[in-house]
Amino acid sequence: MAKQENGFIIILNTEKILNLEELTSLEESQSEVFAENA
């Protein structure tokens, strides 16, 4: 059970990391769009 729980925690942490990367790339694309419109 402990191994499964640890694996689950690792999966959750990986999803959080992926979400952070997606948010960062979204912010970068928005900045590019604003620069083009300026």
Domain span including residue 10: 1-38
pLDDT digits (tens, 9 = 90+) for 1-38: 456 677 777 777 888 878 888 888 878 887 877 788 77
Q: Classify each residue of 3-36 as buried b or exposed e, where b means 16 or more C-beta atoms within 10 Å of its C-beta.
A: eeeeeeeeeeeeeeeeeeeeeeeeeeeeeeeeee
Spatial separation of the C-alpha atoms in residues 11 and 19, rounded to whole Å: 12
pTM: 0.39
How much is the pLDDT for 2? 57
Residue 3, φ and ψ in degrees, nearest 5: -65, -40
6-12-18-21 Cα dihedral, nearest 10 degrees? -100
Number of domains in the chain: 1
